[in-house]
Amino acid sequence: MAPGAPDAANGPALPLGDDPAALLDAAAWALAALVATIEEAATKPLAEVLRADPARTAVLEAARLVSRTGDTLTPHPSLVYADGPTAHSAAQARLSSLRQAVSAASGLADGSGGTWADQDDAVLLSQGRASAMTGRALAGRVVPALPGLADRLAREGSRILDVGTGVAALALALARGFPHAEVVGIDVMERVLALAAGELANAEAEVAGRVTLRHLDVADLTERAAYDLAWLPAPFLSQDALTAAVPRLTDALRPGGWIVVGTNPAVADPLRRAVAGWNAVRSGGNSLDTDRMVETLTAAGASEVRTFPTVPGGPVLVAAQWGPTH
């Protein structure tokens, strides 16, 4: 089969040509150009950013992320975000991916591990800060679409659980979005909780004061009927941890409460599917896609399950309700 020819069984093949390694190396630089451009566009007009660095923009043109008609530059939708904070979060997510790829390449040579505990602080901070985008999506788009949940979270005494809180970026986004709610963030990594404490110290006092951090494995969660909303980042948990987490979380929900689970969509092309599998194995996560997560929550007794795509090719949020009575 010629390079780039379609494979009926696996989807289109990547057009690597005669020197695949050289093209993949160039692709890494194209991703770097993408990240840098998105980050700058968080605080400046995108058109200005593209004009300011013609050499970098030429890389984006070659990668078909920018098209040119005369002096007019038209960005691909993947470069365009609704606002500055969303652009910053997207850039942090891609930057985290780049750093993890470098870590994986180095680990093959030096034998180091690939779990989250093995990542340096820069990776943990980039990945964690990227989750603020998910927190804003939860507050602005998902919660208002879930029956009764926005009213619950508008009341004094409402509570949200953030599983795998990391550096607490998502917890802070939820605390900002729901000014009457208390947010409890739990994580198994003491080191990342120390980073989270630093992030809270730099946040607005009123918001940070409603975020509590706990060193706790979700499998050891014993609270019952304590939360109106629970967030679960499924790809970051092992299959065993995910299996243990679901019943703990359903017990921890107040009657009629919701769990929202971050999932990865099913991927058609073989390269991205293989990379996702490798990432899951290295980081101690799992490769369950959205469809399998829906099946898991339904089997666990959810009374309603809804899905919310984020960006094209990006995570899909799966919301499941237990109740309105247990």
List beta partners, residue 215: 187
> Which pLDDT value is given to residue 184?
98
Mean pLDDT over residues 273-280, rounded?
Answer: 79
Same domain, 296 and 192: yes
Residue 122 confidence (pLDDT) above 50: yes
Residue 25 confidence (pLDDT) above 60: yes
Same domain, 151 and 42: no
Q: Residue 297 belongs to a domain with what CATH number?
A: 3.40.50.150
Model confidence band, residue 9 (pLDDT cutoffs 50, 70, 90)? very low
Q: Identify which has the larger pLDDT, 156 or 323.
A: 156
- The answer as to whether 112 is a domain residue is no
User: Range with the lowest mean pLDDT among 18-22, 94-98, 103-107?
Assistant: 103-107
- The answer as to whether 290 is a domain residue is yes
* Helix intervals (H) in 111-211: 121-130, 132-137, 149-153, 169-177, 190-201, 205-208
Q: What is the CA angle 250-251-254, rounded to 5? A: 85
- In terms of Cα–Cα distance, which of 31, 84, 33, 80 is closest to 54? 33
> Which pLDDT value is given to residue 312?
65
Same domain, 171 and 314: yes
How many residues in the chain? 326
pLDDT tens across 233-247, in order?
A: 998 888 888 999 999
- In terms of Cα–Cα distance, which of 268, 256, 199 is closest to 225? 256
Same domain, 40 and 168: no
Residue 248, token pair as written in the block:
């703990």
Q: How many domains does the chain have?
A: 2
Q: Identify which has the larger pLDDT, 201 or 324.
A: 201
Rg (CA), the chain: 21
* Cβ atoms 84, 42 nearer than 8 A: yes
What is the span of the domain harbouring residue 65?
Answer: 24-79
Same domain, 137 and 68: no
- The answer as to whether 141 is a domain residue is yes
Average pLDDT, the chain: 86
Residue 26 confidence (pLDDT) above 80: yes
Q: What are phi and psi of 211, to 5 degrees?
A: -110, 125
Residue 216 confidence (pLDDT) above 80: yes
Residue 56 confidence (pLDDT) above 90: yes
- In terms of Cα–Cα distance, which of 66, 59, 73, 71 is closest to 27? 59
